Amino acid sequence: MNFQQEPPALGNQYEDDRVLRSYLARVLRADVLRDVEDSLREMGRLAGAELYELQLADRLNEPKLTQWDAWGNRIDKIELTPLWRLAERIAAEHGVVATAYEQTLGSLSRVHQCALAYLFTPSTDIYSCPLAMTDGAARTLLSSGNEALIDRAVPHLTTRDANEFWTAGQWMTELTGGSDVGLTETIAKHDADGFRLYGRKWFTSAVSSQIALTLARPEGNPPGGRGLALFYVETRDEHGRPRNIEINRLKDKLGTRKVPTAELTLTGTPAQLVQGTTDGVRNITPLLNITRLWNGISSVALMRRGLALAIDYAGKRVAFGAPLSEKPLHLDTLANVQAEAEAAFHFAFYVAELTGRSETREITEDESLLLRLLTPVMKLTTGKQAVMVASEVLESFGGAGYVEDTGLPVLLRDSQVLPIWEGTTNVLALDTLRALRGSDSLRQLELMVTHCLDSVRDSRLADPVRVVRSSLDHATSWLTEAERRGQPALEAGARRFSLTLGRLAELALLTKHAQWSIDHEQDRRATTSARRFASAGIDLIVDHDADELS
Ligand code: MFK
What pLDDT sits at residue 544?
66
In 91-223, where do the E strands start and end? 168-171, 187-191, 194-204, 211-218
Among the listed residues 146, 171, 457, the one whose alpha carbon sits nearest the alpha carbon of residue 465: 457
Q: How far apart are CA 343 and CA 23, in angstroms?
A: 12
CA of 373 relative to ligand 1 center, distance in Å: 13
The total of other beta-carbon atoms located within 10 Å of residue 392's CB is 20
**Which residue CA neighbors atom 26 of ligand 1 most closely?**
181
**Which residue CA neighbors atom 31 of ligand 1 most closely?**
225
What pLDDT sits at residue 206?
76
Mutate to test the pocket of ligand 1, among 283, 288, 420 (most ligand atoms within 8 A of CB): 288
- CB–CB of 235/212 below 8 Å? yes
Average pLDDT by consecutive 10-residue portion of the chain (550 residues)? 93 98 98 96 98 97 96 94 97 98 97 98 97 98 97 98 97 93 96 96 91 97 97 94 95 97 97 97 97 98 98 97 98 98 98 98 97 98 98 98 97 98 97 95 97 97 98 97 95 97 98 98 98 98 65
What pLDDT sits at residue 550?
46
What pLDDT sits at residue 1?
80
CA of 285 relative to ligand 1 center, distance in Å: 5
- CB–CB of 15/308 below 8 Å? no
**Which residue CA neighbors atom 41 of ligand 1 most closely?**
282
The set of protein residues with a Cβ atom below 6 angstroms from ligand 1 is 128-129, 132-133, 170, 172-173, 178-179, 181-182, 205, 225, 281-282, 285, 288-289, 291, 294-295, 298, 421-423, 427, 431, 434
CA of 158 relative to ligand 1 center, distance in Å: 24
Atom of ligand 1 nearest to the CA of 129: 4
Q: How far apart are CA 11 and CA 9, in angstroms?
A: 7
Query: In the beta sheet, which residues pair with residue 130?
Result: none
Among the listed residues 27, 31, 165, the one whose alpha carbon sits nearest the alpha carbon of residue 98: 165
Strands 322-323 vs 318-319: parallel, antiparallel or unpaired: antiparallel
Among the listed residues 503, 502, 498, 505, the one whose alpha carbon sits nearest the alpha carbon of residue 452: 505
Mutate to test the pocket of ligand 1, among 181, 283, 387, 413 (most ligand atoms within 8 A of CB): 181
What pLDDT sits at residue 207?
84
Half-sphere exposure of 379 (CA within 13 A, CB side): 29
CA of 471 relative to ligand 1 center, distance in Å: 28
CA of 49 relative to ligand 1 center, distance in Å: 38
